[in-house]
Every structure is written in C-alpha cells, then in structure tokens.
Amino acid sequence: MKKILALLLLAALCAGTAWYALPLWPATIPAGGLNLSVRQGSSLARLANDLQRQEVAPAFVVQAVARIRGSARKLRAGEYLFESPQTVADILSAIEAGNAKQLAVTVVEGSRLSDVYALLAGAPAQPGVATFAAGTLPARSALREALASDAISAGASATAPFDSLLEGYFFPDTYFVAPGSSATALLRLMHKRMREELARAWEQRSPDTPLKTPYEALILASIIEKETGREADRPLVGSVFVNRLRIGMRLQTDPTVIYGLGDKFDGNLRKVDLQTDSPYNTYTRNGLPPTPISLPGRASLRAAVAPPASEFLYFVARGDGSSEFSRNLAEHNRAVAKYQLGR
C-alpha cells in the first residue's frame, strides 16, 4: 500500500513539474517569420486554435500556458511579427504587452462620426508609444476639405448640417495601424473603403429600387444599421423601408429622430420628440433624412439596395434582439400588444 502511495505521489510531482514547465514549450516559427493577427475582443481559444492551425504549438499548450501566466484576459489586439526562436510564453508575453508591429483600431458598425473621433483621440497605445502621432486628428472642417474631391460627397444635400456632411462616409471595421501613424491617414482609408463598399453594393441594386443615388442608399443603410443589431433581420428591415418609400409612406423610424436631437437626447425618446418637426424627424417628414445617421456595415448596405421582396410595412422588436414583421396596421398593433405591452 505504501509503495502505491509513493508511486502516486511521484506521478503527481512529475505531473506538477511538467505543468509548470509548459511555458518553456518551444514555438515553431516558420522560416519567413510568424505573422499573427489578434483582433479586438479575440478569445484565448481563438488565439490557441490559430497558433495550432499554423503549427506553432498545440492549442492545449497555449491555453495551459496562458492560464499558468494568468494572461487569458490580457490579450491586446494588434498585428504581431515573431522571427527569432520563441517559447509559447514569449509569444503570450508579447501579446500581453501589446508589442505589435501594428495596433488594432476597431470601429463598430452603427457608430457615428463623433464616436470615431472619440475613439481615435483616446486610442490605446503601446507602453511609451502613442497609437497616433500628435496633431494628426483633423478638425472636421479640415477633414471635409481633404475629402471634398471624392465622388461620394457630391450627393450630399446642400441643406445638410455642416457637421453631418461626413456622417456615414467611413467604413466600420478593424484596421491595423503602425504606432505613431497619422489619424488623418486612417480616416482617409476608412473613407476609401466606404466608397468602394458603397459602389459595390450600388452595382448590385435591385432594378426597381426607389433609391435614386448611392448617397440615398448610404442614408437608408445607416438607418437599417441603427434599427437592428441582428444581421439576419436587416434584409427584411430594408424591405419595410423600401416598400414605404415606394408608396410614399413615411419611414417613422426612431433612430433618425434620436440623431436629430443630438446632445438633447437623454436616453428617453418622448412623444413630444416624435411630434417636433426637424429635418431628421421621419414621423413628420416624407422620404429620407438629409444625411446618414451612422456608419453602416456591409450587410446593411446590401439590405438597403437589394432587400428581399415582401409585403411588410411594419416591424416591432420582440425583446430578444429579433423583430416581428407585419403587412398591415392591424397585424402590427397585435404584434405591439404581444411583444411590447405583454397582452
């Protein structure tokens, strides 16, 4: 019995030693170096699987080392390059410290231009290295002038508020930038990406779309983006708005009213807000608002220009992130009673 206990104790000691030796596990670095992208919000499991896919180290080793080091929640987004021999612990250490050759800047779909400015102004930095060089975040007027020659700007309404003329023009995505780079350069790249995405979507528009210009498509896509966070619902949300535009029915969408309120919006949309006329109040005015109200993603652009054929004219939130669609007011009222009023 004592021999068995001794053997079990020895096995446990060996296992413990092996466990704590895992950080020294050698990483297999390809001859040309290892380029590793860690996106904003990436999980440890995703990183481990990526390293295993590239035959750098087994996923279970990466996860075990991360847990030993306590680095599972300390991963920093960026584009990393590893060239010399490394251990798994070395790789994790570099990612924890944010020692990237490029840093990740993520602009979320549905953001406003003001959100982008706030993000770039407060972008995270490497220790002692700023993400963007000082003085490279332009005033809106300067940015507008820099982009004035872009074809997409030609569709903007002459009566649109000055600060909103650039709204919607920047494609939301994760961008990798070199430390100390120009914020203006990133904004130009985002603008170029949106022009390309919008042009691609416009080429795929339905022949019978009521939208007359790519700019109108951008406006509608920005509304769809704010109306639902559920990608599967965006096509039908797009069909509701397109159907309304076809028959001259007002869009009656809360996000446009909220956008028009600006800093006056306190998180509570009141009946008086819906009744107070403004260029962005789609309850009091026909057609589209004068400018986009957010930065739409690819799915919303597609939903704006080529939604599926439907007879839907209404939709209401079910409370679980999805929407209930209705063909007429009677159906809609029943849906509101069920999902909003709990009747």
Instruction: Supply the pLDDT for residue 148.
Output: 67
Weakest-pLDDT range from 34-48, 190-204, 299-313: 34-48
Per-residue pLDDT tens for 191-222? 889 989 999 999 999 999 999 999 999 999 99
118-143 as b/e: b if 16+ CB within 10 A: ebbeebeebeeeebbeeebbbeeeeb
Q: Do 93 and 212 belong together in one domain?
A: no
More confident residue, 243 or 118: 243
Weakest-pLDDT range from 124-128, 223-227, 277-281: 124-128
What domain range is 64 assigned to?
Answer: 20-100
Highest mean pLDDT among 58-62, 174-178, 218-222, 336-340: 218-222
Using the 3D structure, point to which of 81, 100, 119 is the last residue of a domain.
100
Neighbours of 162 (CB within 10 A): 9
Q: Could you tell me the strand order of the sheet in which 174-177 lies?
A: 34-38, 78-82, 102-106, 174-177
Burial of 79 (0-12, 13-18, 19+ CB in 10 A): middle
Residue 189 to residue 308: CA distance in whole angstroms: 31
* Percent of the chain residues topping a pLDDT of 70: 84
- Look at residues 44, 64, 60, 40 and name the one whose alpha carbon lies nearest to residue 52: 60
Residue 154 lies in a domain: no
Using the 3D structure, point to which of 44, 76, 100 is the last residue of a domain.
100
Residue 6 lies in a domain: no
Q: Is the predicted pLDDT of residue 283 greater than 90, yes or no? A: yes
Instruction: Supply the pLDDT for residue 13.
Output: 41
The token pair that represents 29 in the structure block = 């670095």
Query: Any idea what DSSP says for residue 80?
Result: E
Residue 13 lies in a domain: no
Weakest-pLDDT range from 130-134, 157-161, 196-200: 157-161
The token pair that represents 121 in the structure block = 């102004």
Instruction: Supply the pLDDT for residue 241.
Output: 97
Burial of 188 (0-12, 13-18, 19+ CB in 10 A): middle
Asked if residues 239 and 211 have their Cβ atoms less than 8 Å apart, the reply is no
Q: What is the mean pLDDT of the chain?
A: 83
- Look at residues 118, 139, 121 and name the one whose alpha carbon lies nearest to residue 130: 121
Using the 3D structure, point to which of 65, 100, 135 is the last residue of a domain.
100
Instruction: Supply the pLDDT for residue 121.
Output: 83
Residue 115 lies in a domain: no
- Mean pLDDT across the stretch 127-142? 69
Per-residue pLDDT tens for 90-125? 888 888 887 777 777 889 999 999 898 888 887 655
Instruction: Supply the pLDDT for residue 298.
Output: 95
| Helix/strand/coil (H/E/C) assignment for every residue in 84-144 | CCEEHHHHHHHHHHCCCCEEEEECCCCCCHHHHHHHHHCCCCECCECCECCCCCCCHHHHH
Q: Is the predicted pLDDT of residue 126 greater than 70, yes or no? A: no
Give me the helices (H) in 170-233, please: 183-203, 214-227
CATH number where 42 lies: 3.30.1490.480
Q: How confident is the model at residue 74 (pLDDT cuts 50, 70, 90)?
A: confident
Residue 309 to residue 211: CA distance in whole angstroms: 15
- Look at residues 284, 232, 228 and name the one whose alpha carbon lies nearest to residue 260: 284
Residue 54 lies in a domain: yes
Return phi, psi of residue 244, to 5°.
-65, -45
Classify 340 as helix, strand or coil.
coil
Classify 27 as helix, strand or coil.
strand
Residue 56 lies in a domain: yes
The token pair that represents 264 in the structure block = 């006056």
More confident residue, 154 or 205: 205
Residue 171 lies in a domain: no
Asked if residues 312 and 236 have their Cβ atoms less than 8 Å apart, the reply is yes
Q: Is the predicted pLDDT of residue 160 greater than 70, yes or no? A: no
Residue 44 to residue 63: CA distance in whole angstroms: 7
The token pair that represents 156 in the structure block = 């903007």
Structurally, how many domains does the chain consist of?
2
Asked if residues 184 and 141 have their Cβ atoms less than 8 Å apart, the reply is no
- Mean pLDDT across the stretch 303-309? 96
The token pair that represents 214 in the structure block = 């790519």
